Structures are given as structure tokens and as C-alpha cells.
Amino acid sequence: MKKLLVIALTGVLCLGGDAWAQTPAPARPATAPAAPAPPSAARPANAPRPAPAAVPAAPAPLEIVQAPAPPAAPGPAPVRGLPSGPNVRFDVTITDTGGPKPVTKTLSLTIGSSNNNGSVRQTSQAPNPNPGPPTIPISLNVDVRNVNWLENGIRATVVIEYQPYLPDAKAQPGMVTANATSVFVDGRRMQILATSDPVSDRKTTIDVTATVVK
């Protein structure tokens, strides 16, 4: 009898164990996965400091480029003369006609022919035929410049300022000025000016003779 009771209890326990084993365990509520921690922004103690941002350099000042100066105009061609030419005598003759009587004035000067110059300055006081100062200046100026002895003659520039004088005229004629660069033939007379007075019949001529002094 006792043996049957033990077997019955054992069968009950076995059935109860299987039933317990077959009962599913209660589901554990699902939990969201933890978000990953953001990387730490802290700089390591030994990390090098970032270099400071480069400051942009100031722009270089604009350079003003000037246009090159135009080339200088070529000078006059050199005169082909001898290194040391002979002396030259210039005889100047001024003739006034058309007045009461012709008036002739002459002068001369000798100049070296190595690009040399010479001049004459003469001023006189003449009676003034009109009311005013008792005398008036009458001038005669001659310049001979850049005298050179060439193979075909004598080259020179002759400048003359001449004030005519008429003692009986109520108004004195104007000054006569001549400026001429010419090649003179040795010993030959050359006329460099012939002019007429604009208010009278007076005429003035200027002749120059260049002679090589031997």
C-alpha cells in the first residue's frame, strides 16, 4: 500500500515538473540600446596648439611706369672744315639810296676760320630834327658767327642792325636788320640784303666780301 502511494506521488511530481518546464518564462521588456557617447572635445595635454590663421599681406603699391622720353632730335651736321683754317677778312658795305644823296657806310673785321665769331658795336648821337631830346642814338651793329673755311668757300652767318639817319626828315626811317648764313667765295662780293623803306623811296643794300688773309 505504501509502495503504491510513493509511486503515485512520484508520478504527480513528474507531471508537475514537465508542466512547469513547459510554461514559458515571462518576456523581459526590451530596452533601447544606449546611444554612443560623443567623442570628447577635450584636447590632450600634450597636443600642439593650432597655428594662428595667416593674416593676408597688404597689396603691393602700384608702380607708375613713365613712358620713355622721345629721342632727342639730331643736331645739325658738323661743318667739314680744316682743323685750323686761315684768317678771313669780312668787308661789309651798306648803301642807302633814294634820299637827298646816297649814303654808303663800310666796315671790316678779321676772324679766324675755325668756327670763330666776331662783332662790331657802334652807337653815335645825332641831332634830333624833331621836337624832343636834342640828340637821338644812331646804331650800327655787325656780328659774324661760325666762320669755317670749306673746300668750296667760306661759310659764315652775318647779322647786321643798321639805323639810317636823315637829318632833314621829320620822321626817321626804321631800323634795317639782316641775318644770313651763306658760303662766300674768296674775294668775291656777295649781296645778302636789298630792301625798300615801306613809307619812302629809300632803298638799302648790304654787300659782304670775304677774303682769306694770306
- State residue 60's pLDDT score: 64
Q: Specify the pLDDT at position 9.
A: 52
163: containing domain = 87-212
pTM: 0.58
Q: Whole-number mean pLDDT of the chain?
A: 77
Q: Give 192's contacts (C-beta < 8 A, 6+ positions apart).
A: 158, 178, 180, 182, 206, 207, 208
Which residue type does 190 have?
M
Length of the chain, please? 214
- Determine the straight-line distance between the first and last CA of the chain, rounded to whole angstroms: 193
Query: Mean per-residue pLDDT for 185-210?
Result: 92
Q: Are strands 103-112 and 189-196 parallel, antiparallel or unpaired?
A: unpaired
Q: List phi, psi (to 5°) of 80.
A: -85, 95
Q: Tell me, yes or no, whether 106 lies in a domain.
A: yes
Q: What's the domain count of the chain?
A: 1
Q: b vs e for 52-61, b when ≥16 Cβ sit within 10 Å of the residue's Cβ?
A: eeeeeeeeee
Q: Select the more confidently predicted residue: 71 or 140.
A: 140
Band the pLDDT of 81: cuts 50, 70, 90.
Answer: very low
